[in-house]
């Protein structure tokens, strides 16, 4: 019989996510938390990190690593009030590194929080009526929802379902309130976690809700997906998907990205039951002996889509209806001003890599505070690391626009399509998994790729490029037309050919290449694209039509292969 992973033992011993976090937080001899608590604290929405740029110097000085904590919010659909925005911005100034980071899962991350201020930071976030429970860990994480500014009436209803899914799949333990908010201690007898059980899920679980025709959440990348079917402005229900996931491990041929399967159609009132049925099926049948193969996509691969669908339907007590027709036309954000069906306006701002702070030429943290003080709508975090100033009354549009220009938040007006659509994960210096640069390298990389585009008259043509520092796929690179996946400092795997509808995976084209080789490949292929493309044809589609990617599959090159 296979042995369970060490993480399964930690969850069992954690007493429903308590661990020894109380003792770890009280230990002033170190800036870290104890062994098991490094894993347990993830369920509370926090990761321990250190500054990898300073790691060797501190080791030479016989000092422990420069430990800090990243905290991630649970903000379903990424919707925040102006008051909440101001509160979170103040928290970043007082406890973090004086900046906010918008994530690809519509959350806000605080970096640089030290241990002795961790509890105060958590309490301050909670005072804004926001929590961080289940933002990380082996549970359902923050639920995505299209920040669709045009379908504003439907968005309100669809967003409400995203919020309800998030609430329904929250852990039931009171450990979060006991540890961070001095809540009353919970008796541990009886059923503490009716959905999760004492060991939660085998691995993280990601859910998204999308409003066609814009696949801005990359719906097929998630464990669980809901595609809103809207007719004459009315939500009829959802097409449902399961089994997507992008994370891999270099050199492990048993790991690979996978697009979710389309299972059928449900009515709105069946939404929560379907979510629970999918999640509990993974709870009961997911692999707990290997972290590499513990996600839902592998459960479905191992047992088959037909088996999985039948098991979900058995738990539901009814069969799924056939999927309804839908069309996706793109996967990015629509920048600039857009009028909603309710007559209010929505401004989609470009925030490269989601990083908001005050710099000499981009005082964005202060600028968004100024907007929040007068804004009468809400803020919506985009799944593409951008920000929508949503629900602006027509009479206040000029006021918001003036502040946007004053604080240089109008970057979207001067960037090329490549620059506007690019994504990058954090990578160095704070991510412990990073093998190569991503966010810090992105501006320089985009400048050089733009130069290649300009050589062929393509500077104003769209091209989706994404870069990550490791193969876990946080910036969803496996769905990009051009993707760089970090292997070592200065070296990346190059993947090509994803679709802009988010329904085709990119494939490995070159392995372990450096920047000059990457730019050389791009020079050649973009030159061919400029000369041979059909009218309106995207780069990823061109590569497939012209056979450039023939014979290439997946993200691994088996040993001995060309």
Edge-to-edge strand order for the sheet containing 108-113? 46-50, 67-72, 108-113, 99-102, 355-357
Exposed e or buried b for every residue in 478-512, given b needs 16+ CB within 10 A? Answer: bbbbbbbbbbeeebbbbbbbbbbbbbbbbbbbebe
CB 546 within 8 A of CB 532: yes
DSSP 8-state class, residue 50: E
The residues that bridge with 466 in the sheet, in sequence order, are: 423, 483
Residue 401: Cβ-neighbour burial (10 angstroms; 0-12, 13-18, 19+): middle
Residue 206 among the catalytic residues: yes
Residue 141: active-site member: yes
Q: Which residue's entry shows tokens 């599959």?
A: 553
Q: E strands, 206-354, where?
A: 207-210, 224-231, 234-242, 261-266, 336-339, 345-349
Question: SS3 for 115?
Answer: helix
Active-site pick, 11, 18, 204, 538: 204
314 is catalytic: no
Q: Which backbone phi and psi does 445 adopt, to 5 degrees?
A: -60, -45
Q: Which of 206, 288, 350, 420 is catalytic?
A: 206
Q: Is 145 a catalytic residue?
A: no
Segment holding 165, helix H or strand E: helix 152-168
Report DSSP state, residue 331: S
Q: Report in angstroms the alpha-carbon separations of 498 from 203, 247, 262, 352, 434.
A: 26, 16, 19, 21, 23
Helix boundaries (H) for 351-500:
364-374, 397-406, 417-421, 442-455
Distance of CA 334 to CAs 242, 368, 421, Å?
A: 27, 19, 10
Catalytic residue among 431, 476, 487, 557: 431
Q: Check if 72 is active-site.
A: yes
* Cα→Cα distances 347→38, 213, 330, 333, 384, Å: 39, 19, 19, 11, 15
Q: Which of 18, 74, 380, 425 is catalytic?
A: 425
Non-local CB neighbours of 3 within 8 Å, separated by 6+ positions: 289
115 catalytic, yes or no? Answer: no
- 127 CB contacts (<8 Å, ≥6 apart)? 87
- For residue 483, which of 497, 470, 469, 466 has the smallest C-alpha distance? 466
Residue 487 falls in the annotated catalytic set: no
Q: Annotated catalytic residue: which of 18, 105, 309, 474?
A: 474
Rounded Cα–Cα distance for residues 240 and 219 (Å)? 10
Instruction: Tell me whether residue 185 is one of the annotated catalytic residues.
Output: no
- Which entry of 101, 105, 115, 141 is annotated as an active-site residue? 141
Q: Pick the catalytic residue: 11, 18, 72, 203? A: 72
Q: Which of 344, 380, 420, 470 is catalytic?
A: 470
**Which amino acids are annotated catalytic?**
72, 141, 204, 206, 425, 431, 470, 474
């Amino acid at each position: 019989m296979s042995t369970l992973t060490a993480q399964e033992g930690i969850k069992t011993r954690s007493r429903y996510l308590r661990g020894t976090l109380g003792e770890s937080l009280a230990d002033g001899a170190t800036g870290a938390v104890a062994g098991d608590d490094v894993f347990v604290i993830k369920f509370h929405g926090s990761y321990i990190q250190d500054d990898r740029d300073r790691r060797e110097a501190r080791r030479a000085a016989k000092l422990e690593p420069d430990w800090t904590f990243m905290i991630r919010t649970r903000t379903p659909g990424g919707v925040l009030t102006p008051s909440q925005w101001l509160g979170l911005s103040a928290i970043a100034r007082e406890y973090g590194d004086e900046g906010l980071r918008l994530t690809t899962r519509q959350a806000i991350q605080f970096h640089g929080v030290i241990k002795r201020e961790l509890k105060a930071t958590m309490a301050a976030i909670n005072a804004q009526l926001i929590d961080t429970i289940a933002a990380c860990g082996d549970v359902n994480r923050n639920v995505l929802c299209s920040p669709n500014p045009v379908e504003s009436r439907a968005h309100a209803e669809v967003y409400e379902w995203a919020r309800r899914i998030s609430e329904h799949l929250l852990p039931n333990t009171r450990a979060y309130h006991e540890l961070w908010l001095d809540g009353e201690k919970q008796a541990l007898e009886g059923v503490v976690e009716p959905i999760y059980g004492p060991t939660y899920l085998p691995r993280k679980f990601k859910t998204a809700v999308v409003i066609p025709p814009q696949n801005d959440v990359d719906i097929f990348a998630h464990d669980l997906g809901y595609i809103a079917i809207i007719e004459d402005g009315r939500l009829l229900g959802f097409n449902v998907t399961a089994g997507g996931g992008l994370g891999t491990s270099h050199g492990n041929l048993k790991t690979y990205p996978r697009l979710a399967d389309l299972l059928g159609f449900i009515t709105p009132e069946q939404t929560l039951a379907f979510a629970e049925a999918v999640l509990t099926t993974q709870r009961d049948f997911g692999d707990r002996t290997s972290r590499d193969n513990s996600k839902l996509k592998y459960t479905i691969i191992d047992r088959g889509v037909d088996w999985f669908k039948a098991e979900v339907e058995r738990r539901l007590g009814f069969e799924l209806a056939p999927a309804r027709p839908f069309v996706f036309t793109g996967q990015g954000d629509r920048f600039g001003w857009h009028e909603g069906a309710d007559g209010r306006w929505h401004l989609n701002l470009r925030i490269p890599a989601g990083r908001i702070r005050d710099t000499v030429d981009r005082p964005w943290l202060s600028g968004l505070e100024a907007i929040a003080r007068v804004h009468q709508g809400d803020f919506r975090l985009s799944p593409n690391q951008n920000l929508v100033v949503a629900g602006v009354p027509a009479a206040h549009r000029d006021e918001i626009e003036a502040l946007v220009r004053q604080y240089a938040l109008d970057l979207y007006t001067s960037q090329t399509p490549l620059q506007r659509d690019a994504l990058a994960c954090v990578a160095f210096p704070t991510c412990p998994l990073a093998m190569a640069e991503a966010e810090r390298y992105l501006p320089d990389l985009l400048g050089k790729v733009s130069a290649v585009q300009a050589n062929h008259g393509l500077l104003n043509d769209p091209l989706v490029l994404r870069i990550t520092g490791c193969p876990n796929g946080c910036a969803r690179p496996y769905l990009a037309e051009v993707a760089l996946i970090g292997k070592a400092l200065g070296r990346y795997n190059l993947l090509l050919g994803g679709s802009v509808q988010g329904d085709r995976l990119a494939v490995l084209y070159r392995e372990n290449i450096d920047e000059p080789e990457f730019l050389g490949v791009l020079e050649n292929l973009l030159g061919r694209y400029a000369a041979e493309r059909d009218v309106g044809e995207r780069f990823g589609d061109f590569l497939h039509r012209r056979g450039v990617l023939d014979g290439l599959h997946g993200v691994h090159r088996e040993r001995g292969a060309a």
